[in-house]
Amino acid sequence: MAPVLCFTAEEVWQELERLVGRTPWDRRTVHAEVFPAPLDVREDAALAERFARLQALRTEVYRALEIARRERRIGSGLEARVVLAAAPADEAFLRSFGAELRFLLLVSEVAFGPVSDAALRSETVSGFAGEVTAAAGTK
């Protein structure tokens, strides 16, 4: 954070100095500190595969959202209700995220079921389609 938000980072650093019993605004500054060594984290292949799969499906949803924006049916993803039709394995995968799926897709509502002929059909994910309508309520 220090290189980008330099003043804010310095204020946080000085408050941390005070919390550990040192005199804030003395001679220590966050900008003279050495970055910590990175954590030794094992690669989680299953998690990486899950994220890549979500990202591929999310890209298709974003394509449908972009078309709805261009057609002025929605202003932003938070004004959208997305109905998804997917192969059983993809639907089960997406449902595994539960209520959090709408946050991952950055929309107000997600539903599963049949879609109309106007829905965007994926050219890259077999059997996947998304239909965007305006969500009930306000953004």
Residues 92, 29, single domain; the answer is no
pLDDT at site 3: 78
pLDDT at site 130: 96
Query: In the chain, what's the furthest Cα-to-Cα distance?
Result: 68
Residues 76, 34, single domain; the answer is no
pLDDT at site 60: 95
Q: Which pTM does this prediction carry?
A: 0.70
What's the number of domains the chain is made of? 2
Range of the domain at 28: 1-41
Residues 70, 33, single domain; the answer is no
Residues 2, 68, single domain; the answer is no
Residues 65, 89, single domain; the answer is yes
Residues 35, 90, single domain; the answer is no
Is residue 129, in this structure, part of any structural domain at all?
Answer: yes
- Total length of the chain: 139
Residues 29, 68, single domain; the answer is no
Residues 33, 70, single domain; the answer is no
Measured between alpha carbons, how far is residue 27 from residues 1, 5, 19, 50, 118 in Å? 20, 20, 16, 47, 65
| Tens-level pLDDT at each residue, the chain (139 residues) | 777 888 899 999 899 888 988 888 888 888 888 877 888 888 999 999 999 999 999 999 999 999 999 999 999 999 999 999 999 999 999 999 999 999 999 999 999 999 999 899 999 999 999 999 999 987 6
Residues 37, 63, single domain; the answer is no
Residues 37, 55, single domain; the answer is no
| Alpha carbon of residue 126 to chain centroid | 23
Residues 94, 37, single domain; the answer is no
Is residue 139, in this structure, part of any structural domain at all?
Answer: no
pLDDT at site 5: 86
